[in-house]
Amino acid sequence: MEHFLGFALPGIPYGCTYAIVAVSLVLTYQATGVFNFAFGAQAFAAAFVFTVLTENHHMAGWLAFVISVVVMSPLIGLAFDRFIFRHVPNSNTTAKLICSISLLVGIPTILPVIFGPQNLDDTATIFPFFNPNVVYFTVAGTPVNGIYLATITVTAVVLVALTILLRFTNLGLQMRGAVESRRLVQLDGVNSGGVVAVAWAVSSFMAGLAGVLLAPIFGTFQSDTYATLMVAAIAAAAWGLLRSIPIATGVAVLIGVVSTTLQGYLPTGSLLYSAVLPSLPFFVLVGALLFLPGMRALDSSRDPLATIDPPPPPTAVASRAPSMDRIIRILWYVVLAGFVVSMLTWIPNTWEGVFNSGLALATVFLSITLITGMAGQISLFQATLAGVGAFTAAQLANHLGLNMLVGGLIGALLAAIVAVIVALLSLRLRGLGLALMTLAAALLFDNTFFNAVSITGGAQGLSLQAKWLGTSEFFNFNGHALFILSFCVLAFCVFVVLLVRKGTAGRNLAAMRGSETAAAGLGINLTWQRITVFALAGAIAGLGGVLVTIQQQVVNAAQWNYAFSLIFVVLVVSTGVSTVEGAINAAIAFVVIQQVLTYLPARLGGNSLTIVLFAFGALQFAKHPEGVLEYQKRKGTQRFERLFFSGKDTRDEKNTRDKKDTIGSAVSTSGANG
Amino acid sequence: MASDDVLLSMRSVSKSFGGVTAVHEVSFDVHAGESVGLVGPNGAGKTTLFNCVCGQLRNERGDISFEGRPLDGLPTYQRARLGIGRTYQKVEVFTDMTVHDHLLVAERARRGTGRLWKDLLNMSAPTSEELAKVEAAMELVGIADMAETSVNALGLGHCRLVELARALAAEPKILLADEPSSGLDLRETAEVASVLRTVQRERGTAVFLVEHDLAMVGDVVDRTVVMDLGTMLADGTFDEVMANPSVREAYLGQMGAA
């Protein structure tokens, strides 16, 4: 028994840290309706500023704590509410997810750009009442030090305070009402804007507290331990159906205890120890998603007053006059021909490489256009699928000497199979549930297959042993072979996506996006459509991954980890997820901006600033769900038409007239439409 | 009606949610080409029964069969392909889609002929036969002039007509219309009633109508079934069931029954 307790007790502080994050997620979801992926970003911001103040400015710990956690964190929460989530309709799950993911991606990236990188592991001096280095007593032979006591005490205080706030105060009652519909509770005389703002401030304070407390243990946003923390917390919150604080806490502590107990009993060299044990939180999350019917209905709550929202704007293509369409199509062909000729003639090698990367990345991004743009679902493991394609092709090339093109096709097939398996597991999940399931799949891959040196070559990755075309100069196309390959693969994928969109599958997906109930009632096999779209998107992502590998001649796991899946979604959504051009624009803009930034000082170069630009672009999703570029395109089209086609009956004007004719009754249907 | 032309048969169908019994031991038939009204106060279990027939809910007990074929275990889309069309109490249209595309989706989904390989070989363009059926359904319902309009720009009345046309484009053998007059004014209600009568008389489609507007029910149906609190109260002609004291009590309470 003492043996068991010796293994189990050290798990309690870990479980408590998971619990703090889990109940914070529950609080935010209960009070604002947002599943706050950005929680980690808020925690990071507080820990980062705390470290800057204590380490760089030698400020006293308590003062730094007051500034970063008590003052700054709630202000961040208020800013989130005021500038972002207040504008997101409660019924728009995609917009809520995209905004919180953008913040998760953007904030941890911009802080080091502003303040320079910090080592958060040094932040060990904030426990005011307990000394982390003193062993206060022992339980069953386990020494209990200040960190244990501080974590358990803080968790207990936080749990009691939150339970009282949500269950026994008038503010908690108003929060629970406002989460369904801010507008509805306003009609009852409640200042719902204020109530939700307070909820954001409180949850952000919790994030700050967690960040400063946990930074020494869990490091930064992209680290593995941080991912484990977030998934364990999400898993615990999920078992509590994002509602129950006691269940979330219990499951969180259980995950901590079971982890350390298994760690004690499993033989250290075994596969179970190295692969399954670190994946325990992911299995717990997947279990909740698979077996709890409540997780399937997470997004079912609809704002009863959503009917007063105007319908979404049409895309630029839909609103253009036919004559404009022709002009734009011709211009596109001219630009495309110009691009191809330039790439084959005068563009310098560096920039040819940049554009080649853009074309390869665009192929991966097209998979997001398929799933999010056409099927209306969010998948957070597209980078993983690209990685599956890339590693498969590289392994086949290195071990069997298979040509990268043939290996690439096999890689794409394997990526499609992986995508289908995840699709089959998540058939009943929608919106947030599907996003969580795909995120869990991405993290599971990062922890297992991508972590295995025999598969991915460890930190150095796999270097390709042979060029994809061999060494023959004849096939080298005067040094432009990579461009021709990337261009052809992308063109093929674009062609496939356009054909699918134009065909029966595209119409069926559009119908499913509008109403799954009605689509099934018409005879559309939703299961098959979903599997098809996942398989196609998986294959396309896999091909993109192979292209990137061919260009770079090396592939490693860090290139395709879960964080990139999040970043890719943010990139595509910020430009325009509903059109094929959106994916291409996103990829080309990303690589071009990245290249331009290399001319700036080192701290501003690289990925960071580019990701920040796109992340903040994606925040516009709340106001312009069609994407910023798509929005600008529509505006530009309207301006152009006013200048050159004034007096003619454009489609947009016609639509507007139709809307005015039926404005009274449109009010009552837009809710059902949305 | 002869017993051998039974289209939809329900036998002792029951469905409960937690402790609440929504439908209890309901049994009746709808014959081919017949028009049946299903009426009852709110909470009577009418929409739940529709959902059980369409497969959007699974009945816990009892049997539902269509043309003699048991529907148990069949998913919703397969039941639709057998010839069960449906409109919804809360309008379910496909955002961003034009009226014409709504009907095209329905026409093709019902036959289940869409194939991914056809899409990839650019062989999915609508055939002239499909276009003719879509056109006919729009003409029947009177929405042909708004074929290229996005449903986002339509009002509730037009959306209900789009739903109706979408269900009819698939040429169902039975149309389950769930409160089609809900939210419509008198003129629009009359339009919907006229379409339902035409569908039944000219196409021979059976109409199974859930409706609160009793005038409309009396105008459209051959037979009326009344439900209250999940159980079946009466089955007969509209005038017969309206004269039934237990029906009057369910609608009007003790005073009305007296």
From A386's Cα to the closest Cα of chain B, the distance in A is 22
Give A123: exposed, middle or buried? Use CB within 10 Å, 0-12, 13-18, 19+: buried
Residue B74 falls within a domain, yes or no?
yes
Instruction: Give the percent of chain B with pLDDT over 90.
Output: 54
Q: Are residues B248 and B203 in the same domain?
A: yes
DSSP A465: S
pLDDT tens for each residue of A193-233: 888 898 899 889 988 887 887 766 655 545 556 667 788 89
Q: Are residues B33 and B49 in the same domain?
A: yes
Tell me the pLDDT band of B162, cut-offs 50, 70 and 90: very high
Of B137, B171, B205, which closes a domain? Answer: B171
Average pLDDT, chain A: 80
Whether residue B240 contacts residue B247, with contact meaning beta carbons closer than 8 Å, is answered with: no
Q: Are residues B177 and B258 in the same domain?
A: yes
Q: Are residues B2 and B78 in the same domain?
A: yes
Selecting from A523, A665, A670 the residue whose C-beta is nearest the C-beta of B109 gives A523
The helix (run of H) or strand (run of E) holding residue A253 is helix A245-265
pLDDT tens for each residue of B93-135: 998 889 999 999 998 888 877 788 888 888 888 889 889 999 9
Q: What is the Rg, in whole angstroms, of the alpha carbon atoms belonging to chain A? A: 26
pLDDT tens for each residue of B217-233: 998 999 999 999 899 98
Separation of first and last alpha carbons in chain B: 33
Tell me the pLDDT band of A170, cut-offs 50, 70 and 90: confident
Q: Are residues B71 and B183 in the same domain?
A: yes
From A669's Cα to the closest Cα of chain B, the distance in A is 5
Q: Read off the tokens for B182.
A: 């809900």
Q: Identify from B53, B56, B71, B96 which residue to disrupt to test chain A contact, counting A C-beta atoms within 10 A and taking the largest count.
A: B96
Residue B90 falls within a domain, yes or no?
no
Most confident by average pLDDT, A141-155, A595-609, B56-70 = B56-70
Tell me the pLDDT band of B23, cut-offs 50, 70 and 90: very high
Q: How far apart are CA A378 and CA A570, in angstroms?
A: 11
Q: How far apart are CA A255 and CA A510, in angstroms?
A: 40
DSSP A196: H
Q: How far apart are CA A446 and CA A223, in angstroms?
A: 11
Judge: B159–A499 Cβ closer than 8 Å, yes or no: no
User: Residue A478's pLDDT is what?
Assistant: 64
Give the residue from A108, A86, A73, A101 showing the smallest Cα distance to A206.
A73
pLDDT tens for each residue of A275-320: 777 788 888 999 999 998 888 766 655 565 655 565 556 666 666 6
From B181's Cα to the closest Cα of chain A, the distance in A is 14
Task: Write the single-letter amino acid at A387.
Answer: G
In this predicted structure, the answer to whether residue B256 has a pLDDT above a threshold of 80 is no
- 3-class DSSP assignment, residue A135: strand
Question: Which residue is associated with the tokens 């109706």?
Answer: B164
User: Residue A598's pLDDT is what?
Assistant: 79
Q: Are residues B111 and B149 in the same domain?
A: yes
pLDDT tens for each residue of A505-514: 999 999 998 8
Looking at chain B, how many residues does it have? 258
In this predicted structure, the answer to whether residue B71 has a pLDDT above a threshold of 90 is yes
Residue B92 falls within a domain, yes or no?
no
- How many beta-carbon pairs under 8 angstroms link A with B? 162
Q: Read off the tokens for A2.
A: 């003492």
Alpha-helical segments (H) within A448-561: 453-456, 481-502, 504-514, 516-522, 526-552
- Mean pLDDT over residues A105-129, rounded? 68
Q: Are residues B129 and B207 in the same domain?
A: no
- Exposed e or buried b for every residue in A462-476, given b needs 16+ CB within 10 A? bebeebbbeeeeeee
Residue B186 falls within a domain, yes or no?
yes
User: Across-strand partners of B69?
Assistant: B66
Q: Read off the tokens for B245.
A: 């004291």
Range of the domain at B139: 97-171
Is B152 in the A-facing interface, judged by CB distances under 8 Å? yes
User: Residue B4's pLDDT is what?
Assistant: 63
Is B95 in the A-facing interface, judged by CB distances under 8 Å? yes
In this predicted structure, the answer to whether residue A625 has a pLDDT above a threshold of 70 is no
User: Residue A342's pLDDT is what?
Assistant: 92
Q: Read off the tokens for A159.
A: 């749990």
Judge: B105–A522 Cβ closer than 8 Å, yes or no: yes
User: Residue A36's pLDDT is what?
Assistant: 87
Give B236: exposed, middle or buried? Use CB within 10 Å, 0-12, 13-18, 19+: middle
pLDDT tens for each residue of A448-461: 888 888 888 877 88
Is B120 in the A-facing interface, judged by CB distances under 8 Å? yes
Instruction: Give the percent of chain B with pLDDT over 70.
Output: 96
Q: Read off the tokens for A22.
A: 């889990």
Q: Are residues B165 and B190 in the same domain?
A: no
Of B171, B198, B232, which closes a domain? Answer: B171
A255-259 contacts: CB < 8 A, separation 24 or more? A255/A15, A255/A18, A255/A280, A255/A281, A255/A284, A256/A11, A256/A12, A256/A13, A256/A14, A256/A15, A256/A16, A256/A17, A256/A18, A256/A232, A257/A8, A257/A11, A257/A12, A257/A15, A258/A11, A259/A11, A259/A14
- Mean pLDDT over residues B67-76, rounded? 92
Q: Are residues B111 and B220 in the same domain?
A: no
From A478's Cα to the closest Cα of chain B, the distance in A is 33
By a Cβ cutoff of 8 Å, what residues of chain A touch chain B?
Answer: 311-312, 314, 318, 496, 499-500, 502-508, 510-511, 513-515, 517-526, 532, 655, 658-659, 662, 664-666, 668-670, 672-674
Question: Which residue is associated with the tokens 């099927």?
Answer: A375
- What value, to the nearest 5°, has the Cα angle with vertex A617 and ends A493 and A415? 30
User: Residue A59's pLDDT is what?
Assistant: 83
Residue B182 falls within a domain, yes or no?
yes
Q: Read off the tokens for B86.
A: 């449906």
Q: How far apart are CA A582 and CA A614, in angstroms?
A: 13
In angstroms, the Cα distances linking A233 to A24, A246, A250, A282 are: 9, 13, 11, 10
Give the residue from A510, A494, A507, A496 showing the smallest Cα distance to A373.
A510
Chain B residues lying within 8 Å of A666, measured CB to CB: 152-156
Chain B residues lying within 8 Å of A515, measured CB to CB: 92-94
Residue A376 vs residue A308, higher pLDDT: A376
User: Residue A311's pLDDT is what?
Assistant: 58
pTM reported for the whole predicted model: 0.85
What backbone phi and psi angles, to 5 degrees, belong to A635?
-60, -45
Residue B138 falls within a domain, yes or no?
yes
The sheet carrying B61-66 orders its strands as B20-31, B6-17, B61-66, B69-70
Residue A188 vs residue A486, higher pLDDT: A486
In this predicted structure, the answer to whether residue A472 has a pLDDT above a threshold of 60 is no
Return the residue of B nearest to A309 by Cα: B152
Alpha-helical segments (H) within A266-403: 271, 280-291, 293-296, 316-319, 322-344, 349-368, 382-400
Is B170 in the A-facing interface, judged by CB distances under 8 Å? yes
Question: Which residue is associated with the tokens 């080592």?
Answer: A119
Is B80 in the A-facing interface, judged by CB distances under 8 Å? yes
Is B103 in the A-facing interface, judged by CB distances under 8 Å? no
Task: Write the single-letter amino acid at A264.
Answer: G
In angstroms, the Cα distances linking A672 to A303, A306, B93, B102, B249 are: 11, 9, 7, 15, 34
In this predicted structure, the answer to whether residue A127 has a pLDDT above a threshold of 80 is no
The helix (run of H) or strand (run of E) holding residue A100 is helix A93-115
CATH number at residue B176: 3.40.50.300
Residue B177 falls within a domain, yes or no?
yes
Chain B residues lying within 8 Å of A526, measured CB to CB: 77
The helix (run of H) or strand (run of E) holding residue B25 is strand B20-31
User: Residue A672's pLDDT is what?
Assistant: 36
In this predicted structure, the answer to whether residue B2 has a pLDDT above a threshold of 50 is no
CA of residue A137 relative to chain centroid, distance: 43
From A191's Cα to the closest Cα of chain B, the distance in A is 30
Q: Read off the tokens for A401.
A: 């000497």
Q: Which of A5-14, A309-318, A386-395 bottoms out in mean pLDDT, i.e. has the lowest? A: A309-318
Selecting from A503, A518, A662 the residue whose C-beta is nearest the C-beta of B92 gives A518
User: Residue A376's pLDDT is what?
Assistant: 85
Q: How far apart are CA A244 and CA B4, in angstroms?
A: 55
DSSP B195: H
Give the residue from A260, A207, A240 showing the smallest Cα distance to A21.
A207
Give the residue from A367, A343, A340, A383 showing the smallest Cα distance to A584.
A367
pLDDT tens for each residue of A24-54: 888 888 878 888 888 888 888 888 888 888 8
In this predicted structure, the answer to whether residue A270 has a pLDDT above a threshold of 90 is no
DSSP A136: E
- 3-class DSSP assignment, residue A592: helix
Question: Which residue is associated with the tokens 């993109």?
Answer: A544
Q: Read off the tokens for A611.
A: 């990701």
Of B171, B199, B228, which closes a domain? Answer: B171
Q: Are residues B10 and B70 in the same domain?
A: yes
From A393's Cα to the closest Cα of chain B, the distance in A is 25
Domain count along chain B: 2
pLDDT tens for each residue of A415-456: 999 999 999 999 888 888 899 999 999 988 988 888 888 888
Q: How far apart are CA B120 and CA A496, in angstroms?
A: 6
Instruction: Give the percent of chain A with pLDDT over 70.
Output: 82
What backbone phi and psi angles, to 5 degrees, belong to A457?
75, 15
Q: Are residues B239 and B133 in the same domain?
A: no
- Mean pLDDT over residues A151-162, rounded? 84
- What value, to the nearest 5°, has the Cα angle with vertex A88 and ends A83 and A94? 125
Whether residue A572 contacts residue A369, with contact meaning beta carbons closer than 8 Å, is answered with: yes
Residue B88 falls within a domain, yes or no?
no
Q: Are residues B71 and B176 in the same domain?
A: yes
Four-CA torsion B92, B97, B100, B102, nearest 10 degrees: -30
Question: Which residue is associated with the tokens 């105008």?
Answer: B219
Tell me the pLDDT band of A112, cut-offs 50, 70 and 90: confident
User: Residue A659's pLDDT is what?
Assistant: 42
User: Residue A318's pLDDT is what?
Assistant: 63
Q: Read off the tokens for B115.
A: 């194939």
Q: Read off the tokens for A134.
A: 């003193």
- Mean pLDDT over residues A172-189, rounded? 75
Whether residue A315 contacts residue A626, with contact meaning beta carbons closer than 8 Å, is answered with: yes
Alpha-helical segments (H) within B121-237: 128-141, 156-169, 186-203, 214-220
User: Across-strand partners of B150?
Assistant: B98
Judge: B95–A500 Cβ closer than 8 Å, yes or no: no
Whether residue A153 contacts residue A13, with contact meaning beta carbons closer than 8 Å, is answered with: no
Whether residue A247 contacts residue A240, with contact meaning beta carbons closer than 8 Å, is answered with: yes
User: Residue A191's pLDDT is what?
Assistant: 80
User: Residue B1's pLDDT is what?
Assistant: 47
Judge: B183–A505 Cβ closer than 8 Å, yes or no: no
